[in-house]
Amino acid sequence: MKCPIWSSLILLTVLQILSVSNLEAADTIYQYNSSSPLLGDVSGYTKTELTFKRGATETKIPANEIQRVRWDGEPPQLNIARNQEANGNYAEALEEYKKSQANASANLKKDLQFMIARATAKSAQSNPASLDSGIKMLDEFIKANGDHYQYYPAMKLLGEAYLAKKDYPAANTAFGTVERSPWKDYQMDAKNLKARVLLAQGDAQGALAAFTAVTKMDAKTEPEQASKRAAQLGSALCLEKEGKQKEAIAILDEVIKTTSSQQSPLLAEAYLRMGDCYRELGESKEALIAYLHIDVLFPTEPAVHAEALYHLSTLWGKVQKPERGVEARAVLQQQYPDSEWTQKATGS
C-alpha cells in the first residue's frame, strides 16, 4: 500500500527532528586548523590523540590539533567563561569554571580542572600571588590525568610557571617532557622555552645559540612557523641584552611583518621588546609608538600590557604630554593593582 504524501512528509519531519536532536546532543571538537567544528561522540582519548566517532566512522585526531572540546550537556555559560579567559579576565572566568563543576560530566570535570589551573597560572602574569596556586593545580592535574589530551599543554604551562618563579631546574624538567612529545611544533616550543631559561639565568650567548638553532629548523605547518618566529623573537631579546638594539629592532620588525594577527602573545611581546630597544637608544617617540601598539591592540595580554603601561606612564612626559602619562599610570593601577609594574610606578 502506498503511503499518503502527508504521511511521508510527517515521517521526513520526524527524521529531521531526530537528526537535529542527535546533532545537538553531540560532543563538539574545535581544531586550530579548521573553522568548522566536528560534531559526534568522543569515545576516548590519550595524551597524544582523541578518538572521535560519528555514525560508524571513527577518527583519530592528534591532541596538538585540538583547541578545545565542548562536551555534550555542557552549560552554555562556559563559552562566555572561555571568552573571559581569552580576554584576560581571569577572575570572572574562574568564578564560572568553579560554578560549573557541580553538575559536570566526568569528562567535563577533567577539562574544568585543567581550565581552572590554566586560568589561575595565567592570572599570575599580573598577580604573582596566584603563582604558587597555579603550580599546585597544574601539578595535581598532571598527576591525576597522565593520559589526558591536555597533558602536554598543562606541562608547558607548568614549566612557564616555574620559569616565572625562577625555579629553573623544575622549569627545564617540564619543558624536557614537552620536548619529548611526538609533534615538531611542541618540540620547537620546548627548545625555545629552554632557551628562555638560559636567558633568565644570564646566559645570553647560550640562549642565542639555542634560539638560532630553532630558527634554522625546517618549518612546514603554521604552528611550526609560529615557533620559528618565536625563536626569532628570542634571538632579538638576546641581542638587546647584549646592547645590540639596532640588530634586535631589525629582527623584531621582521617578526611583526610575518606574524599572523591571531598570534597576539607573540606580536604583543615583539612590540614590547621593540619599545624597549628604542627606549634604550633614547628614541622616546619611536618607543611610545611601539608601546601604544600594545595598549591599543593587545590589552588582553596582561603581563605585556602592564609593562607597556608602565613605560608609557614615564615616556609621555618626554614628549611634552605629561597628562597622558598620568592617564596611563591610572589605568595600570586600576587594571593591574597587584602587578610588579604597578608597584614600580607607585614606588611601593
Mean pLDDT of 292-307: 95
Q: Counting beta carbons within 10 angstroms of the beta carbon of residue 230, is it exposed (0 to 12), middle (13 to 18) or buried (19 or more)?
A: buried
Average pLDDT over residues 236-254: 97
Q: Is residue 292 part of a domain?
A: yes
The pLDDT value given to residue 5: 53
347 occurs within a structural domain: yes
Query: Which 3 state secondary structure label does DSSP give 27?
Result: strand
Q: Quick one: pLDDT at residue 171?
A: 98
Write down the residue that cell numbers 599610570 correspond to: 329
Structure confidence at residue 8 (pLDDT): 52
Residue 189 has pLDDT above 50, yes or no: yes
Return the DSSP state at 28: E
Q: Is residue 345 a part of any domain in this protein?
A: yes
Cβ 78 vs Cβ 111: under 8 Å: no
Dihedral of the alpha carbons of 193, 198, 204, 208, in degrees to the nearest 10: -40
Domain membership flag for residue 335: yes
How far, rounded to the nearest angstrom, does the alpha carbon of residue 336 sit from its chain's CA centroid? 19
Q: Is the pLDDT of residue 296 over 50?
A: yes
How far apart, in whole angstroms, are the C-alpha atoms of residue 195 and residue 212?
10
Comparing 16 with 292, which gets the higher pLDDT? Answer: 292
Domains contained in the chain, number: 1
Specify the DSSP element, H or E, that contains 261.
none
* CATH number of the domain that residue 313 is part of: 1.25.40.10
Question: Are 222 and 33 spatial neighbours (Cβ–Cβ below 8 Å)?
Answer: yes
Model pLDDT, residue 35: 86
The Cβ of residue 188 has, within 10 Å, a number of other Cβ atoms equal to: 24
Q: Given a cut of 80, is residue 22 above it in pLDDT?
A: no
**Which three cell numbers mark 262?**
591571531
Q: Quick one: cell of 300? A: 588582553
71 occurs within a structural domain: no
* Position 7 pLDDT exceeds 60: no
- Banded pLDDT at 259 (limits 50, 70, 90): very high
The predicted-structure confidence for 65-80, as pLDDT tens digits, reads as follows 999 999 999 998 999 9
Burial class (CB in 10 A: 0-12, 13-18, 19+), 169: exposed
Closest CA to 274 of 259, 289, 290: 290
- Print the domain residue range for 274: 264-348
Q: Is the pLDDT of residue 126 over 90?
A: no
Cell output for 279: 627606549
Q: What is the pTM of this model?
A: 0.89
Average pLDDT over residues 294-311: 95
CB atoms within 10 A of CB 41: 16
The answer to whether residue 257 is domain-embedded is no
- Per the prediction, the chain carries an average pLDDT of 92
As a whole number, mean pLDDT of residues 331-338 equals: 93
Residue 313: what pLDDT? 96
- SS3 readout for 29-84: EEECCCCCCEEEEEEEECCCEEEEEECCEEEEEEHHHEEEEECCCCCCHHHHHHHH
> How many angstroms separate the CA atoms of 155 and 66, rounded?
16
Dist. CA 157–CA 160, nearest whole Å: 5
Average pLDDT over residues 328-346: 93
In-domain check, residue 326 = yes
Q: Could you tell me if 328 and 312 are in contact, meaning their C-beta atoms sit under 8 angstroms apart?
A: yes
48 belongs to a structural domain: no
